[in-house]
Amino acid sequence: MPASPCDEREEMVEMTASTDARSVPPVVRSRQELMDRGIPFPPPATPETALPLVASGATYQMAQKLAWLDDDHFAVGRWDGSMSVFRFTDSPTAGPLISKAVNTPAFQGVRMLAPLPGAVLVTSNDDRSLTLWHSPGTTWTDLLPLRTVPYDPRLGPATSGRGVRAGSPHTLAVGHTTGHLSLWHYDPAARDLTFSRSVDLRNPDPVNPWNLHDINATEVLTEVLPEVFTDAHGTALVVTGSEDGYVCVVHVPSGDIVSQTVFNPTAERGINALSVQGGALLVANCSVGPEDHNLWYFTFDEKSWHPALRDRVNLIVDPRRPQAFNFSIVTGAYAHGPCWFSSTEEGALWMGTTDASSLKVLGYKQVTSPLGAALGYRGRPGRLAMVAHDLYEFETGAEQPPAPR
């Protein structure tokens, strides 16, 4: 019988972190912590006015996650609990066209989106369930909630996820707020998930000041497909990035931990996003102070699977700023070959390349409002979507095969 998280780890009763630190987007939380320490931000051109108002709550509509569903459609999850599916337009005068807008059953922020075979999309829901969505016509205009899949609430809300072509017949790897990775069997025929196991990936000495362990990124590092693997079901390695600073490599479907590494031993903030291209790993975080960096480049030793640092840069427009939040990083391609794209809290879209030992920054484009934007890249041809409050789309000039599904 599959092990339950209760049977595996009774210490999970103490996993729940403060919800106050998660009540606002991470970039806002980080700014507030610096201001509480007396670290000033560059003043605006016109000082603000003291008004006779009492601050109440705020609803954040900015994007949290973006995931491509096929070559033409992508989904966006937002802090307000809404999820929208858009169709890329290939037009210089019109932006993405909305195909479907829904709310998660729990009406909580969508922090995880993961496409699965069979025109299925799985999303975070609340602190004890995932939601499966299905498009019967495969056009995504008829997206309907298929079912809500419960799990032990001690795992916490899902914060990242990735479908993996491994296991029997597929696996879904899900990162949670508590620093645990849950692994699920996914059956495309039944369009259903079955819990397999959870893995404790917490860093005992978190790099952030809030004692947070949210696994913000889960990516496939390498896959071996069934036709070339002896157990007939395939195996994989996934890599995760956490608020507590850990980069972890985990074997799927066994859940065995292969390596755990703090991406920056002197970091003051954790990991926001990861992107994998070949044997390269790019790590996005929030830099604090002029000596810190918010984009890190690693390669892996294929025996130990420990990441080795190759280079680092700080993507910042105004160097007077005490922090530079790198919100999202994706690898892709443009007319001259492989590249990467990144979005930062200054509303900038950055672009660059890597070689065997270094990062090259090609530059940035001022695109949207502050706080950062979610990015998603899709090949055939190269398409980049960028979503904060507004949505922007770009053609990268790359012609390449579609991403594996």
Who contacts 159 (Cβ-Cβ below 8 Å, separation ≥6)?
A: 111, 112, 124, 175, 176, 177, 214, 215, 216
pLDDT digits (tens, 9 = 90+) for 24-46: 788 889 988 998 999 888 877 77
Per-residue pLDDT for 359 more than 80?
Answer: yes
Query: Order of strands, edge to edge, in the sheet holding 374-378?
Result: 374-378, 383-387, 391-395
- As a whole number of angstroms, the distance between CA 303 and CA 352 comes to 29
- In the structure, what pLDDT confidence band is assigned to residue 229 with cuts at 50, 70 and 90? very low
pLDDT digits (tens, 9 = 90+) for 308-333: 999 999 999 999 999 999 999 999 99
In a domain, 100, yes or no: yes
- As a whole number of angstroms, the distance between CA 79 and CA 64 comes to 6
- HSE value, Cβ hemisphere, 13 Å, CA-based, for 290: 3
In a domain, 270, yes or no: no
In a domain, 269, yes or no: no
Query: Order of strands, edge to edge, in the sheet holding 158-164?
Result: 158-164, 170-176, 180-187, 192-200
Per-residue pLDDT for 402 more than 70?
Answer: no
- pLDDT for residue 179: 98
Total of domains in the chain: 1
* Of 313, 308, 286, residue with least CA distance to 298: 308
Quote the DSSP letter at residue 273.
E
Select the more confidently predicted residue: 297 or 301: 297
In a domain, 231, yes or no: no
- As a whole number of angstroms, the distance between CA 77 and CA 111 comes to 7
Average pLDDT of the chain, as a whole number: 87
- In the structure, what pLDDT confidence band is assigned to residue 106 with cuts at 50, 70 and 90? low
Per-residue pLDDT for 3 more than 50?
Answer: no
Q: What are phi and psi of 100, to 5 degrees?
A: -160, 140
Q: Residue with structure tokens 């090949």?
A: 379
- pLDDT for residue 18: 39
Instruction: Give, rounded to a whole angstrom, the gap between the first and last alpha carbons of the chain.
Output: 29
- As a whole number of angstroms, the distance between CA 203 and CA 213 comes to 7
pLDDT digits (tens, 9 = 90+) for 122-139: 999 989 999 999 999 878
- As a whole number of angstroms, the distance between CA 242 and CA 263 comes to 10
Structure tokens at 11: 């210490």
- As a whole number of angstroms, the distance between CA 234 and CA 394 comes to 35
Per-residue pLDDT for 228 more than 60?
Answer: no
Q: What are phi and psi of 30, to 5 degrees?
A: -65, -40
- pLDDT for residue 303: 86
Q: In the beta sheet, which residues pair with residue 75?
A: 67, 85
Q: What are phi and psi of 160, to 5 degrees?
A: -165, 160
Select the more confidently predicted residue: 91 or 316: 316
Average pLDDT for residues 45-56, to the nearest whole number? Answer: 78
- In the structure, what pLDDT confidence band is assigned to residue 364 with cuts at 50, 70 and 90? very high
In a domain, 390, yes or no: no
Query: Are residues 147 and 212 in contact, defined by beta-carbon separation less than 8 angstroms?
Result: no
**pLDDT above 90: percentage of residues in the chain:** 65
Structure tokens at 123: 């999303």
Which range has the worst mean pLDDT, 19-28, 284-293, 365-374? 19-28
- pLDDT for residue 17: 41
Per-residue pLDDT for 51 more than 60?
Answer: yes
Quote the DSSP letter at residue 367.
-
- In the structure, what pLDDT confidence band is assigned to residue 268 with cuts at 50, 70 and 90? very high
In a domain, 76, yes or no: yes
- HSE value, Cβ hemisphere, 13 Å, CA-based, for 122: 29
Q: What are phi and psi of 14, to 5 degrees?
A: -105, 15
Average pLDDT for residues 291-295, to the nearest whole number? Answer: 97
Nearest-5° Cα angle at 108, 106 to 114: 90
In a domain, 328, yes or no: no
Domain of 96?
60-150
Per-residue pLDDT for 249 more than 50?
Answer: yes
pLDDT digits (tens, 9 = 90+) for 147-176: 999 999 999 999 999 999 988 889 999 999
**Run of H or E residues at 121:** strand 120-126
Which of 57-66, 87-96, 257-266, 272-281 reaches the highest mean pLDDT?
Answer: 257-266
In a 3-state reduction of DSSP, which class is residue 307? strand
In a domain, 123, yes or no: yes
